[in-house]
Structure 1
Amino acid sequence: MTRTAIAVATLLATIAIPANAQDMTAPQYPETQRDDVVETFFGEQVADPYRWLEEDVRNSEDVAKWVTQQNRVTDAYLEQLPARPWFNTRIGELYDYERFSVPVERGGRYFYTSNSGLQNQSPLYVRDGLNGVPRLLLDPNQWAEDGATALSDWVPSPDGSKLLYSVQDGGSDWRILRVLDVTTGEQFGGDIRWAKFTGLAWVGEEGFLYSRFPEPEEGEDFQALNLDQAVYFHELGTDQSADSQIYATPDHPERNHVAQTSDDGRWVILTSSTGTDARHEVHVVDLSVRETRGWRPQPLVTGFENSWSLIDSVGSRLFFVTNTDAPLYRVLSIDMDNPSAGWSELIAERDQPIAGASMIGDRLVIQYLEDASSSAYVYTLGGEMVREIEFTGLGSAGGFYGSPDSNETFYSFTSFNRPATIYRYDVTTGETSEFAAPDISFDPDDFVVEQQFYESKDGTRVPMFIVRRADIAASGDAVPTLLYGYGGFDISLTPGFSPSRMAWVEAGGAYAVANLRGGGEYGKAWHDAGRRANKQNVFDDFISAGEYLIAQGITPEDGLAIQGGSNGGLLVGAVVNQRPDLFAAGNAAVGVMDMLRFDQWTAGRYWVDDYGYPDREEDWRILRAYSPLHNIQSGAQYPALLVTTADTDDRVVPGHSFKYTAALQAEELGDRPQLIRIETRAGHGSGKPTDKAIAEAADILSFLGYWTGLKVGE
Structure 2
Amino acid sequence: MKVNTFLFLAILGLCQITQAQDDKYQWLEEVDGVKSLEFVNAQNKITFEELSKEKDYQSMFNNALEIYNSSERIEYPSISGKYVYNFWKDKDHERGIWRRCLLTQYINKNITWETLLDIDELSKKDNIKWVYSGATGLYPSYDRFLIMLSKGGGDAVITKEFDVNTKQFIENGFFIDEAKASATYLDENTLLVSSDFGEGTMTTSGYPKQVKLWKRGTLLKDAQLIFDGQSSDVGSWGIVLRDGAQSYTLIIQGTTFFSNNSYIWINNKLIKLDLPTDSNIKTILNNQLIVELKSDWTVNTITYKAGTLLSLDFKKIINNEKEIQVILVPDEFSSISEVSSTKNKLLINLLTNVTGQLYIYSFANGKWVNQKVKAPDFGTISIAATDELSDQYFFEFENFTTPTTIYNADANNNTFKAYKSLPAYFDANKYQIKQFKAKSKDGTMVPYFLVSAKNIKNDGNNPTLIYAYGGFEVSSNPFYSATFGISWLEKGGVFVLANIRGGGEFGPKWHLDGIKEKRQNVFDDLYSVSEDLITKKITSSKHLGVMGGSNGGLLVGVAFVQRPDLYNAVVCEVPLLDMHRYNKLLAGASWMDEYGNPDIPEEWNYIKKYSPYQNLKTNVKYPEVLFTTSTRDDRVSPGHARKMVAKMNDMGYKTYYYENTEGGHGGSSTNEQKAKENALIFSYLLMKLQ
Q: Match of 1:702, as an amino acid? A: S
Does residue 355 (structure 1) correspond to residue 326 (structure 2)? The answer is: no
Aligned mate of 1:494, from 477, 481, 494: 477
Q: Match of 2:597, as an amino acid? A: Y
Change (3 A) 1:246 1:550: same
Q: Is the 8 A contact 2:158 2:176 kept in 1?
A: yes
Residues 232-243 of structure 1 correspond to what in structure 2 (within 5 A)? 232-235=212-215, 240-243=220-223
Q: Deviations over 1:372-420 (max 9, x none)?
A: 2221111111444332112323322222643564111112222223443
The answer for the alignment partner of 2:28 in structure 1 is 53
Structure having greater relative contact order (Cα 8 Å, sep ≥ 6) = 1
Does residue 541 (structure 1) correspond to residue 513 (structure 2)? The answer is: no
Inter-partner Cα distance in structure 2 for 1:524 and 1:656: 29
Q: Match of 2:583, as an amino acid? A: D
Inter-partner Cα distance in structure 2 for 1:636 and 1:251: 43
Instruction: Tell me the CA shift for residue 115 of structure 1.
Output: 4.3
Aligned mate of 1:389, from 356, 369, 373: 373
Change (3 A) 1:517 1:317: closer
**What's the TM-score once normalised by structure 1's chain length?**
0.85
Does residue 143 (structure 1) correspond to residue 114 (structure 2)? The answer is: no
Inter-partner Cα distance in structure 1 for 2:225 and 2:385: 29
Q: Match of 1:124, as an amino acid? A: W
The answer for the alignment partner of 2:293 in structure 1 is 322
Inter-partner Cα distance in structure 2 for 1:244 and 1:435: 46
Residues 430-449 of structure 1 correspond to what in structure 2 (within 5 A)? 430-449=414-433
Aligned mate of 1:281, from 261, 275, 285: 261
Change (3 A) 1:442 1:75: closer
Change (3 A) 1:496 1:209: farther
Inter-partner Cα distance in structure 1 for 2:230 and 2:371: 47
Instruction: Tell me the CA shift for residue 226 of structure 1.
Output: 0.9
> Counterpart of 1:341 in 2: which secondary structure?
coil
Instruction: Tell me the CA shift for residue 90 of structure 1.
Output: 2.6
Q: Deviations over 1:620-669 (max 9, x none)?
A: 11111111101113111111211111111111111111111111112245
Inter-partner Cα distance in structure 1 for 2:385 and 2:155: 25
> Counterpart of 2:104 in 1: which secondary structure?
coil
Change (3 A) 1:389 1:147: farther
Residues 464-475 of structure 1 correspond to what in structure 2 (within 5 A)? 464-472=448-456
Q: Is the 8 A contact 2:52 2:683 kept in 1?
A: no
Change (3 A) 1:467 1:612: same
Which deviates more, 631-640 or 590-599?
631-640
Aligned mate of 1:126, from 100, 121, 134: 100
Which deviates more, 547-556 or 110-119?
110-119
> Counterpart of 1:99 in 2: which secondary structure?
coil
The answer for the alignment partner of 2:87 in structure 1 is 113
Q: Is the 8 A contact 1:312 1:358 kept in 2?
A: no
> Counterpart of 2:291 in 1: which secondary structure?
strand
Does residue 680 (structure 1) correspond to residue 661 (structure 2)? The answer is: yes
Q: Deviations over 1:174-229 (max 9, x none)?
A: 0121232222212232532244263x533234443232134589xxx9x9851552
Q: Is the 8 A contact 1:271 1:280 kept in 2?
A: yes
Q: Match of 1:593, as an amino acid? A: L
5+ long unaligned stretches in structure 2: 1-12, 106-110, 297-304
Change (3 A) 1:46 1:373: farther
Q: Match of 1:68, as an amino acid? A: N
The answer for the alignment partner of 1:463 in structure 2 is 447
Change (3 A) 1:111 1:456: same
Inter-partner Cα distance in structure 2 for 1:517 and 1:119: 40
Instruction: Tell me the CA shift for residue 559 of structure 1.
Output: 0.5
Inter-partner Cα distance in structure 1 for 2:477 and 2:438: 17
Does residue 530 (structure 1) correspond to residue 514 (structure 2)? The answer is: yes
Q: Is the 8 A contact 1:472 1:508 kept in 2?
A: no
Aligned mate of 1:99, from 73, 78, 94: 73
The answer for the alignment partner of 1:23 in structure 2 is none
Inter-partner Cα distance in structure 2 for 1:297 and 1:395: 43
Instruction: Tell me the CA shift for residue 117 of structure 1.
Output: 7.2
Q: Match of 2:213, as an amino acid? A: F
Instruction: Tell me the CA shift for residue 328 of structure 1.
Output: 1.7
Inter-partner Cα distance in structure 2 for 1:39 and 1:546: 43
> Counterpart of 1:435 in 2: which secondary structure?
strand
Change (3 A) 1:465 1:42: farther
Inter-partner Cα distance in structure 2 for 1:470 and 1:464: 18
Q: Is the 8 A contact 1:487 1:517 kept in 2?
A: yes
5+ long unaligned stretches in structure 1: 1-37, 287-292, 710-714
Q: Match of 2:665, as an amino acid? A: H
Inter-partner Cα distance in structure 2 for 1:65 and 1:224: 29
Q: Deviations over 1:470-498 (max 9, x none)?
A: 4448x888420111111111111112223
Instruction: Tell me the CA shift for residue 173 of structure 1.
Output: 0.9
Identity between Structure 1 and Structure 2 (%): 27
Aligned mate of 2:61, from 88, 104, 113: 88
Q: Is the 8 A contact 2:205 2:235 kept in 1?
A: no
Q: Match of 1:53, as an amino acid? A: L
Inter-partner Cα distance in structure 2 for 1:209 and 1:99: 35
Instruction: Tell me the CA shift for residue 42 of structure 1.
Output: 13
Inter-partner Cα distance in structure 1 for 2:388 and 2:682: 46
Instruction: Tell me the CA shift for residue 96 of structure 1.
Output: 4.0
Q: Is the 8 A contact 1:120 1:147 kept in 2?
A: no
The answer for the alignment partner of 1:311 in structure 2 is 283
Residues 181-260 of structure 1 correspond to what in structure 2 (within 5 A)? 181-188=163-170, 189=173, 191-196=175-180, 198=182, 200-214=183-197, 225-226=205-206, 228-235=208-215, 240-250=220-230, 254-260=234-240
Q: Match of 1:484, as an amino acid? A: Y
Inter-partner Cα distance in structure 1 for 2:307 and 2:595: 22
Q: Is the 8 A contact 2:630 2:667 kept in 1?
A: no
The answer for the alignment partner of 1:483 in structure 2 is 466
Instruction: Tell me the CA shift for residue 238 of structure 1.
Output: 5.6
Does residue 698 (structure 1) correspond to residue 679 (structure 2)? The answer is: yes
Q: Deviations over 1:415-453 (max 9, x none)?
A: 223443222111111111233332343344343333222
Does residue 623 (structure 1) correspond to residue 607 (structure 2)? The answer is: yes
Instruction: Tell me the CA shift for residue 310 of structure 1.
Output: 3.2
**What's the TM-score once normalised by structure 2's chain length?**
0.87
The answer for the alignment partner of 2:407 in structure 1 is 423
Change (3 A) 1:609 1:250: closer
Inter-partner Cα distance in structure 2 for 1:395 and 1:342: 38
Q: Is the 8 A contact 1:329 1:353 kept in 2?
A: no
